[in-house]
Structure 1
């Protein structure tokens, strides 16, 4: 048993809104139905579930168009699903299952999924499943009329799929494409590796030399470091002795300052009490002044209100007089309106009486002229009957004369008709001449408009091109800006990560900062607690050094807990600064007064940085004894001016220590600890600004895209205008030709009419001669007719008298009706006037009521104003009394405050003397503190060097000093070692590690390069082998199909000859295929010259040839025989029966000859509008029953 198609289930696919299932048996399955019922949708569903990816191939604009779009009675669906089942007992499909089910779904949102035996797979897996099976998407197993045309209209090379699919080379082509991609990737990788190997080959030797120097440097540096440790320990011991001496002097100065401070405190306390009393008196004076001001303002307000009340009272008197006068006028007018209403009522009654009288008169006239119309009509009918009888007598008398007269009249009419036709033709000729001239003008005008439209189109094209170029420039600029923004963003994230992870700090410091939330009292590290302007960062970094990594804590307990944490976790060491212990050490302003006058002096370091006020003691302890100047010359000058007492640093980082020691040169110190946060902040600001600029650029791009869109629409409109003008020009041209042809035809007819007129004139002359002969005979008949006419005239006169009498009565009746209409109109006007007067009366009554209400309100306001004026006068008197009392109280308080100010002045003079004495002792204390700070700083610096650089405590280092230790000799030896290190020059310590890494990488990449070369050669060999296999299979299959095609063609056509020809037999991989056919009785010719039926039959023949060589599981034929005649349809159906034992055929057809050979028939119909449904008929059962 071979691979067989079992069923096709469709749901929501195109017109199949409901789920339907089509079952397939062996043999031929036919599908029929009227046009538009959805038959071809079955074929497309089959192609789609087997992997079709082109919406255009499925007659859609986009893939979502295959989902049922709704109908008049049903809404759209959101999903399309097709399920295809195969019988796979022979395992022709590479799946170890007896039944294979392929399911494909598509949702309206664009999501899709494919399932193979209910397991989700890729669409590619479905396509690969049918490779080399003859059922692929490019196979000949699914054919429609469109496919037939595609075969015949395509290029020879595009027809290769006809042979490739049966030859089973599709998988080889895909593998070759994959191999080509792998080869391209291998070449790219090989190129990259070769470039890297080439680059590394130039790095190995230089790094080897640098690594050798680095090893020498490390040996000498180790010796130097051992000596430096001992020297530092000895110097620290000496500095400790000096520190004790300065501590004793510091305590003495502190005792003197305490005594003076007590006296200053007592004086300050007295001054404070007097100041407090003075403030209380001042506050009381301010309060009294405020009260006095408020009372004065209230008095002014009351006086103003009093004046306003008087003014308002006068205004009310005036308004009252005006309203009284207005009330009298309205009363007078009310009387006049009432009199008018009485007069109008009388006129209305008179008009109503007049109307009644006119109506009675009209009734009387109509009664007087009450005639019977039937009698009048009977008299008229009798007269007309007599007149007709006379006419009949006249006709009988003129029979003979009429014969000749009629003949003459006919000829005259014919002559007149010819004349009329001649005039009409001449008029038509004139109109045609005018129309031709107008059409020529219209054509010229249209041509001119078309040329103008072409210019407009060219201008619009040029504008759009410019807009596109500008848009491209803007987009390029945006892309460049975006790239720069992304680079800065990456730099920002990198720096921010460094800052957040505290990179650059010592191990112990980093461990504490990472556990800051878990440890109590950790405020932060100095480097992160200060903000240093960029200008001073190098100076601060070099001067303070490792102190930037000191950690500030709330107290000693917090520092102790942090140290225990480091020791417990072996996380390194750190220096801690408890806020409760560290005191401020800042240079006194008097000590550097001379320096402040010079421009080179930047200031004390603690004043140049910013920090939280609560950290002032700690910051002044570290930075308060450090002076910052511009350069080394300024530092020397400042050191001399301050007697070498202070530590001074330049902007470039050169340092002069107390005592005059100078440190400087090019330093490799990294200022990242201070600059990193500044850089992060600047980058963040820059990114925000750049983001705004990018948004503006995006908006600019959007605007330009809109402009381009508008220009494109304008071009579309101009194209449409040009097309309309072209159509108009063509229409005018065609109409002009028609008018010219009509003009020519009319000219020919005009010539014919002139000849006919001459013939008729001759015939008229002959008849006139005959008429003269009969004239005498007709004279007697004419006299009798005249007598009859006189009798008719008399009867008409009688009828005229009757009409005149009737007109008199009608005129009188019309006069009365006109008077009646006039009287009724006057009556209606009088009623309207009466209504207007009544409305006026109501309005006047309303106005009188309003005036009376206003008079009542004015009377009430007058009484209220009288009472308010009395109250205001009383308040003014009370206010004046309160102002006088306040002024007296205010004067007494001011005298008391003057006495207190005199006492405060004396105490302040005494305090000034104490401050001067205190300042002298403070200056001495500052000098002592500076010396002590210098010694302490030196000790700290040297301890820091021991701890941070050598990881030694002072005690451990001092214990290493031997009994025969000589500091001077050790310093000389250290100088020699340092000189030797300096002579090595610039040493790259990382070169040792870099050399090992580069060497290892160079060896690894060299091996990888060789591996890539071998892989490249293997891929090329594999592709060559695949090409050979494809060529062999293609040639073999082509020869088999071509031979079979030549045999089947004459059987299908009943004679003739056909061939499949290769256009390049030497190149089996790229050769095209020509199809040459010679139907019976015709010459050998190419497909394009065949009729539609011949081409369809040729394609069917080719299909049977392929099935003969390479049978496939099933074949779908969608109306391929539609253009065949009945005899060819019969041949086609017979051939289907020959192959139906090895191939299932699904045939969509309209032809009865095909239907007669199918085993099962499905009918597709639309019983519901827009919804396809399936009806099944098993024809074998029908035949058996028949």
Structure 2
């Protein structure tokens, strides 16, 4: 496996497409300083996944894009493609050639591709990790990296071996597992917190559920009492209905009797009314006859008076005719004169009317002419006024236009000033934003470092806290087990009588030499005895002993001594207060090596007891063994002491970590505050910049609008001036108004007077003609005959008057008799009506009483129906069955008292959570579910811890193997580079290989130096190269890329270095950037890099045994491309 080709386009100084094809062996890249040699190394590092802009000698990743030159524009993207030969199958993919490409755009977007397919950076790193190249590209040795190897911390130096050994992928797996573990720890804490909260909620919720259950029971009782109370009320209503049924029937009978009596009176009232109607009709007939007779009498009286008047009038007319005998002639003469006068007046009137008609016509003609002239003058005047108004309007519009123009010009000047000010402010704001960005960069870097430290501290603190939690949980469990194992009647008594009792005997004695079980066997039941100072206190507490042994802390008889036997008492330490008691209990107990020996000795000394190391006591009439529970308790106590010690150590380690974590968090908060302040300032500046830019854009739009309005005002002003010139032209003068005409008033007065005279004359003629006709119509003889007839008519009328008076007197008498009859009939009818009203009132009273009873019955029936409906619908019971189920004691009062009692009990419950039962079930289900989840999380956590343990084991084995190989290779290579010298690699902490650093010990030749910094520059370079090549030899890679690593070497050391390079080139591909001729001489292929005048780099290729071949498109038209190592080159911009 080796690098097949490299294609560059737009990367740094390689603006145009450049293709370099590589082969096995040593390839040297040469050229003057600044030509772009190192850019080729950067391109290979970049395409293989380098993420640090500083490692690529830039400030940001976009700096790798060609930035342009005075003759070449900048490019918008950079692309590098690297083809790797995989014919050996070192990379486990089914391809003999693998193309890896990376592209970046100035917008910040970038992508990786493998075989043309878009992939992630992680995919590229995972692919390369299979080849030994490593994530950190340790096989690429850049400028200055040799010094970094020597000055690096030991912990950083070990990473070179880790990268070569492929431990990085295991560390990533471990980090992922630790992240999962941290997540599980968080889940575990959350689950524990939630479960604790749920347990805290469960207790009150259980109480609430109990209250809800009690509430439900009382509610059921209240419901039952309510049902029985409703049935009792229905029962009473039904009884009341039965009681009132007889009253209803009696009222109904009385009502029927009253109705029959009222019907009889109704018939009587009808008969009385008929009689009264008949009497009234007779009275009306009598009154009609009386009125008729009276009318006849009045008519006879009128006829009599008329006859008298006519007779008198005829007598007067006859006397008047004799007096007016010569009046007819005078009337005739006056009539003739009146007719002549009328004729003259009519002629004069006709003449005057003709004169008036002519005068009226002339007056009307002159008036029409005058009105026409006035109308014309008025029209012309109105036109003139309109023109004057229009002229004033136009002049006002022109003046307003001028004012608007001046105002718009002032506004436009102000807006232009605002635009200039806004642009200046925007420039200042951009500068301020750039300054704030620059100020925030070191803070962000510091925060990133602190955040990394915080994550590490959080992991350590979490791990320590988990240890503390495990230890505390184990301690609590052991304490509980110890309490369970040690709880006896004596311990319970001691707990109650701590003031007077001293303590438990087993806690006041201790055996040495591992004789704990023999001691317990010897003490027997007294091991759990409660020790008292005196007998009085023990006697006082004896009634409460509950099976406990109460011992007195006093001495007993002195033990006898068996010669040659070891007493158990000699191996026991006791507290001063219990020494006497222990001496008493153990005075006859001796040690034996075995049970048989104990039995044999007891046979010789029957008064003594012997105990074996296994805790078997052989004594007088007893063989006793130490209880196993005591052993378990002792073991638990020992483990508990260890756990408490581990817990104290964990707390001791946790405190400084927590303190540092708090300091880091506090510093992070301070940095966050500073960054937030900077961000706020940047945001405020950006917001202000956006506002200013919007204001500037708005001002520009306003300026454009104002300019358009100014142009519009100019056009409008020209139009107004043209209109003014047309309106203000001269107009014709007004015509002269004629003198007004006088109406013919005099003629009108004369005609009117003549008409009145003519009317008066006509009236006088009519009067005279009437008088003449009346005088001619009177005949004296006829008057005398008529007078005689009038006398006879008067006599006849007088006789008729007398007859009519008699008939009227008779009719008046008949009328009086009819009136009396009608009065009597009316009184009879009134009496009948009175009695009918009384009967009707009685019936109404009975009807009201019945209706009242009926309403009461209806109300009672309604209440019964409601009670039945309440039982059916409200309580779901059959009314008849509910009533039948009542007992004699189920009265309404008793049931109401019981219901009131239940209600009081319900009220005493207070506010009841009726959903508590369901909530409790839900909460318990959630608790059970979370408990199962907790167990699952704990299991997953154990599995992850096991995974981490296996990863650690794998990393430890891999690192130790790689370290041993690298250390061995370092010693050999060091001896090769420094003949007679000694060098070795040393772990700083061999006990912790995964955390230990690597120190380099070097002694070149016969020098005796303790520090590498005291070596010369060439020696330091060779030491660093020995370290790197030792790693390369221990864990080989398919290719190695070195950028000017030999400048500090002299000729001798350079020859040694090149010998080493040639040895490596036999198995791997070596690309080296150099200025040394000796290095060029050992190379199989030379790649020459030069800088063109347009600022772009050019590459030419030459095998050592062939003439040079120039890359195509590189400015060398005579160059030839070599088939062995073909290379094409095009210029590429650098940034």
Q: Does the TM-score normalized on the shorter chain lie above 0.5?
A: no
* TM-score scaled by length of structure 2: 0.39
* TM-score scaled by length of structure 1: 0.38
- The higher radius of gyration belongs to 2
